[in-house]
Amino acid sequence: MTRVRHERKAFLDPKGKQENLMITIMELNEKAELIDFCVIQMHCPGNKKYIVMKYDSSHGECHAHRYYRNLKPPQEKVKYHEISKHSFHMCVKDIRAHWRTYKDAYVTKWFDA
């Protein structure tokens, strides 16, 4: 089976800042059907990189890892658990809508502790 991997990076910050990044990875089969995906929010102050939030489908269904709660977070079931373009877009939409909240919780828990 042939797999095609698409990876994109986009800064979430207002213009000028580049500390908060979203990375999206999609793997498609030869029929352009989604077979795996990952959506990662990273906080990158200075030269350091921290994963804040991650959605992935590596174990057969979409689930979340909330690093702002636990540095070794368990897999958390999510509403849109099927591997589909809809689930992928819902994960992207969630991070775009809540990235500041997730980042602030991460910084408060792990930097201000």
| Whole-structure pTM value | 0.92
Per-domain boundaries in the chain: 4-111
Whole-number Cα distances in Å, 34 to 2, 26, 28, 86: 12, 7, 5, 10
Tens digit of each residue's pLDDT (9 = 90 or more) over 54-112: 999 988 899 999 999 999 999 998 888 899 999 999 999 999 999 999 999 999 999 87
Q: Is the pLDDT of residue 38 over 70?
A: yes
Phi, psi of 94 (to 5 degrees): -65, -45
Rounded Cα gap, residues 38 and 52, in angstroms? 13
